[in-house]
Every structure is written in structure tokens, then in C-alpha cells.
Amino acid sequence: MSACKIPSPLARSPGLPKSPEGDPTFPEPWAAEAFAMTVHLHERGVFTWSEWAEALSTEVHKPGRAEDGSDYFNCWVTALSGLLVDKGIADADAILSLQKSWQRAAEATPHGRPIELENDPLR
């Protein structure tokens, strides 16, 4: 088996939606990007597997989460953001500000057009 065929431990995360073949599946492109970013950061040693597992488990098991798992990747992004803040790599206020900017950009983007941060009317 080549190195490309050896799945990251993150690809074996409990609860990760999978295809019938066992590959991760993503509801939207942003979820695939969040997954890839997490794998990359883990492989670069930014956080350990156990740190990731604890962060994701904390988010997935918080009260009020969707019973059907439809918010799984929201939990994923929250866990990743929290780890990056805890390690001093990202600033919580900057993450929140960027999240709000993307939301405004999405709301201001005409249907069928790509959502771009430049579409945020407050930028």
C-alpha cells in the first residue's frame, strides 16, 4: 500500500460520514476543506491525534447538537477553531469577525454566483 493509500487517523474519526466504500463524504465543499485543513495541521504536528479526538468529542457531545448528525462538520470546524485558539495560532475574535464577514458576503451574493469575501458590504 502506498503512502497515499494509508488513511490519516482523522479519516477514521468516529461519526465521520462515509460512503459505502468507507471514504469520507462531505455535504458541502467547505466541509471537505475543513477536513483537509485538519489533516494537514495534524500531519504537521500542530496538534496530536488525542488532542483532536478530545476537541471533536467535546463538540459532538454538547447539548443541543442535531441527533441526526447533520451538524457534524459544524462541530468539526468549532473543534478545529478552538484548538487553534488554544495553541495561540489563531485569535478567537479574528475567527468570529471572519465568520461574520463570510456570512454577510453569502447574503449579499446573487443566487448562482460564487460567494467571495469581497461581496461583504462592510469590507
Mean pLDDT, each 10-residue run in order, the chain (123 residues): 52 71 84 93 94 94 88 94 96 94 95 94 93
Per-residue pLDDT, 3: 45
- Model-level pTM? 0.77
pLDDT of amino acid 113:
93
| pLDDT (0 to 100) of residue 21 | 83
Structure confidence at residue 12 (pLDDT):
63
Amino acid at position 72, single letter: Y
Q: Of 83, 82, 88, which is closest to residue 42 (Cα–Cα)?
A: 83
Q: How far apart are CA 77 and CA 96, in angstroms?
A: 12
Q: What letter represents residue 1's amino acid?
A: M
pLDDT (0 to 100) of residue 117: 94
SS3 12: helix
Block residue for cell numbers 504536528: 45
Q: How far apart are the first and last CA of the chain?
A: 48
The SS3 call for residue 116 is coil
pLDDT at 46: 96
SS3 string of 32-52?
A: HHHHHHHHHHHHCCCCCHHHH
